[in-house]
Structures are given as C-alpha cells and as structure tokens.
Amino acid sequence: MTTPRPAAVLVLAAGEGTRMRSATPKVLHTLGGRSMLGHALTAARELEPGRVVVVVRHAREQVVEHVRAIDPAALVADQDATPGTGRAVQCGLSVLDAAAHADLARDRAPDEPTHAETSGAVVVVAGDVPLLDGATLGELVATHVADGNAVTVLTTEVTDPTGYGRVVRETGTGDVVGIVEEKDADDEQRAITEINSSVYVFDAAALRGALGRLGQDNAQGEVYLTDVLGILRGDGLPVRAVRTDDPLLVEGVNDRVQLATLRAELNRRTLEDWMLEGVTVVDPATTWVDVDVELAPDVTLLPGTQLHGSTVVGVGATIGPDTTLTDTEVGARATVVRTHGTGAVIGPDATVGPFAYLRPGTVLGEDGKIGTFVETKNATIGAGSKVPHLSYVGDATIGEQTNIGAASIFVNYDGVSKHHTTIGSFARTGSDNMFVAPVTVGDGAYTGAGSVIRRDVPPGSLAVSSGAQRNIEGWVLRSRSGTEAAEAAARALAERGDDDGLSPQARAERARAGQAAHSAAPGPPPAAVRPASAAQRTDDSLPAPTPKDDTR
C-alpha cells in the first residue's frame, strides 16, 4: 500500500531542555551518529512531505545552524514568548501558510484566487523522540487518511505513566475524548496507563480552526496542543488514536539518563538489524555502530569496535578488536586491528594495525599494509606497498609494491607550509630514514639505513647519506670517570686484559702505526762516513781518531 504524502511535517524544537544541564541545546545531543533533531528530520523526510518546518526558540542560532547543515530545504518558524506546544504549532502553521501563499503569488494565473493556505494532512512530531521512524509515521498517516480523521494521535501503554499526558477514550467506540496532562489530571485519570506520544496527524483546516480557540487556563499556564483534541471532539469531528506496542519507539528525552538509555537501545536495534543481514557481531555489548554506517554480508565486528558517520565496510572484512573508524571506507576482506581512523580509504585485502592512526586523506591500496605504530595523513599508498612499523607518512604518494623501512619519517612541514614526498613503485627504503619534502625517490630505488633524503633519488639508484662510524676508545674512562658506566667499562676491559683502556683493535692499530713510522725512518750511511752514534760517542766535543797506516 502506498503511503499518502502529507502536506507538511512540523518538528517542535523550541524547548529549553533545562534538565539536560548542558550548554548544548537538548535537540542537538546525539545518539547513533545523529542529533535528536536529525533523527526527527530523517523520519519526516521518509514521508516525502510537501514541506518540513522546524519550530525554534531557545538557543535559536545553534539550532537553526544545525537545521541548515542537515536539511537546507527545511523551513524555520520562530516561536514567540507565549509558552506551550499549542503556540509552537500555531507559529509553525503560520510559516507553512505563508509559504503556500508565496507559491500561489509566484505561480497563479490572473483569474486565480489571491490567497492560499496549507491543506491536507499535517504531521506534528517532537524533536526529542529519537527512535521514532518513518515507517511508524507512515502507518499513522495512512490510518488518518483512510479513516477521514480530524486528528490521529500516536499512543502507547507503559507500566509507569508518571509525567506523561493520559489518553482518555470513549467507552465502547474507543475514540479519543481528550488528553489530560499530568499536572491537570485527577486520580482516576492518573491511573490510566495509555499515554500521549506527542506525535499527531491533523487535518490542516481543522487544526487551524482549533488553534485560534486555545487558552492558557491550566496548571502550567501554557498553550497546550493536546487541548486541540478536546476542541475537535466537541465540534463533532472524528478524533482517534493508533497505539504502538513499542513504548521506546515514542519515548522522549528529558535528561542524560534517558538519553543514555535510548542511545543503548538504538544501538541494540541497529546491531540486531545488521546481524539479521549477515554481519557477525562477536560482542554486541561493546560494539557501537552509527545508523548511517553500511555493512556488507560476512563482515565481522570484534569486541570494542566503534563505527561512526558514513563508514562503509566491504564483504568479508574484519574490524577490531578495539577499533574506531569514522567516515572510513574498508574494502572487501580487509583486516583492521586496534586502529583509529578518520576519513580514510582502505583497499581490498589490505591490513591495518595494530595501533595504527589513519588521519583524513589516507588511501591504502589493494593488499597494502599499514602496520604497528604507524600514522598517516594525506597519504596515498599503492597496491601491495607496506609501511610496517613505527613511521609517520604525511603528504605523500607511495607507488605500488614498495616497502618503507621501520622508523621512517616523511618530513612534510617547514613551519609554514606543507610539502609533498613521492616514493616510486618497487622501491626499498632503509630503516630510520627521513624524507625531507619536497623530494622524490624514483621507481626501484633503494635508500640506506639512517639516511636523510634531501635530494631526489633517480630510479634504480642507492641513496646513502650517513657518514662513516668513528669509535673514540677509552672516552668513557677519561670523560665519565666515577660513573657506573665507567666502572662497568673498566671491568669489561680488565676481563679482556685491556688495562690500558684500549680494545685489541685499538692496540693493533697503534702497533701498525709504530711499524709504519719505523719503516719510514732513513737507513744508515756508508761505513767510511758513518758518524758515531750517540751510544758510541763518549764526548761529542772530541774529534774522531785517525785510522793507522798499515803500509808503513
């Protein structure tokens, strides 16, 4: 059966919500990834009404800004200082009538009427009933139209009706005689367990006529919308109710305790729906999924998983444990473990985590890997490429089948501007590298461990920027004497017989240096002219003796 389209939906969002004890307007508090007002507007739009109007007053600017963000086509009506839901609907209907008149003035032919008002079914919902859905509203509208009612109210029965308006029915017919608010009810009426949900469908003309006869003669001094039902009943018009067997569907929120209760219930229903669609939820008690998340069959959600916003998870993917994803796309058969991600895209068969942080703009290709303690931002990582450990990849493009060594940093910020790094395909970068952007490493290139890459590396090249290692032997004994380190070094040297504080390598180098110096010394002169050595000479002031003449 096709649901009739109502002329309009009025969403009441003017209340102050003092019991929330919050600077945030009550209707802007969230559950399931939407504000309570967002839930109301979503349900309203499912009816495909001619117009939607939101009635505002307290924290007007915040509420209107939110309405403009989530439903730009919605009209806004301002409630004046007169309190009460009746006055709120009156203000909303005036805006609807003004819009109808403007349409007529714009489109009418010269011989057509010059005045127009909203006609047909007008749905009224409260902005703080977040579990109410479009299907329930559709059934209410269909019943209203089929029965030709002046007003149809949605009701439910509860064990403890304290605080709610009681629905008084006519014996025999079951038609609604009226709704009595808690403070105005007598003892007999307070015993009634059927309550008003504050959800109605009115005939616009009947509503308009009754609103003009409302007063404030009641315990709270407000203009009650509920009084309209009694007025229309008195006019002999049909006033009926549709009762739902699901009290939580129409439960309102007045404080944070009620908000938490309905948040948990909404999540339970969301998970139940997905499990019936073929999703495995290992531990529903610790798994939270927003209402706009999309899950494919055979997805597995492990304990501690939270999926928020517009997150989409593909067939056969596994998320969790202890993973939070917001507005993130996860491809088929991907695995995401102990990861926090926002605004990221994870390709099919990719693996992420544990302890990874994916910031907005991260794109991981098919069969790629972002591993343990890796942070990424504005980074495209190609198919089959891996960033396995302890790295930061920001403002970068990495090609296909490339491996980024552990402890790599893409240095993208100079204190003023961000710069881009490009790593080609099939590249292999060493551990503890820094890529100082802007810089490009070509396809198939390698970089050595500990390198700081400041200049472009051509394809197929090996880039090494680290200097030779230098050991300063005995430095600790000389410069840190008396410390535990010096004492430990002395013991180790003594055990090896190195009392001079030099290692065997250092002593060997010293010996080689001595040999080299000895070899470089000048050799002895011929014997006839050989000067006496110091050892040979007893007094350098005496001349050497003259040899004897043996021929004589």
DSSP string, 474-528: THHHHHSTTSHHHHHHHHHHHHTT-TTS--HHHHHHHHHHHHHHHHTSPPPPPGG
d(C-alpha 374, C-alpha 64), whole Å: 40
- Please say which residue of 413, 428, 462 terminates a domain: 462
- pLDDT at residue 551, rounded to an integer: 38
Give the residue ranges of the annotated binding site for Mg(2+).
Answer: 128, 254
302 and 171 co-located in one domain: no
- Please say which residue of 421, 447, 462 terminates a domain: 462
Half-sphere exposure of 175 (CA within 13 A, CB side): 16
301 and 418 co-located in one domain: yes
- pLDDT at residue 237, rounded to an integer: 96
| 515 or 330, higher pLDDT | 330
- pLDDT at residue 102, rounded to an integer: 86
227 and 318 co-located in one domain: no
At 496, the pLDDT band (50, 70, 90 cuts) reads confident
Matching residue, tokens 């403002």: 395
- Please say which residue of 250, 270, 297 terminates a domain: 250
What is the three-class DSSP state of 95? helix
63 and 210 co-located in one domain: yes
Q: Would you say residue 500 has pLDDT above 80? A: no
pTM of the model: 0.85
| 505 or 168, higher pLDDT | 168
Q: Would you say residue 403 has pLDDT above 50? A: yes
At 542, the pLDDT band (50, 70, 90 cuts) reads very low
d(C-alpha 546, C-alpha 543), whole Å: 9
Percent of the chain with pLDDT over 70: 88
* Beta strand residue intervals within 28-120, DSSP E: 30-31, 34-35, 51-56, 75-78
235 and 295 co-located in one domain: no
Average pLDDT, the chain: 90
Give the residue ranges of the annotated binding site.
Answer: 12-15, 26, 79, 84-85, 128, 165, 181, 196, 254, 359, 377, 392, 403, 406, 412-413, 431, 449
d(C-alpha 315, C-alpha 310), whole Å: 16
Backbone angles phi, psi at 27, to 5 degrees: -70, -5
Instruction: Dump pLDDT digits (tens) for 103-160.
Output: 877 766 666 665 678 999 999 999 999 999 999 999 999 999 999 999 999 999 999 9
Spatial contact of 359 and 345, defined as CB atoms under 8 Å apart: no
293 and 240 co-located in one domain: no
Task: Burial-class residue 215 by CB neighbours within 10 Å (0-12, 13-18, 19+).
Answer: exposed
What is the count of structural domains for the chain? 2
Pairing of strands 194-203, 151-157: antiparallel
Q: Is residue 263 part of a domain?
A: no
41-55, 315-329, 365-379, 468-482: which range is least confident on average? 468-482
Task: For residues 445-450, give the mean pLDDT.
Answer: 96
At 505, the pLDDT band (50, 70, 90 cuts) reads low
Give the residue ranges of the annotated binding site for UDP-N-acetyl-alpha-D-glucosamine.
Answer: 12-15, 26, 79, 84-85, 165, 181, 196, 254, 359, 377, 392, 403
Largest CA distance in the chain: 173
243 and 318 co-located in one domain: no
Q: Is residue 170 part of a domain?
A: yes
Which domain, by its residues, includes 291?
279-462
Provide the annotated active-site residues: 389
Task: Burial-class residue 146 by CB neighbours within 10 Å (0-12, 13-18, 19+).
Answer: exposed
Task: For residues 323-342, give the mean pLDDT.
Answer: 98
Give the residue ranges of the annotated binding site for acetyl-CoA.
Answer: 406, 412-413, 431, 449
Helix axes of 204-211 and 227-234: crossing angle, nearest 10 degrees? 100
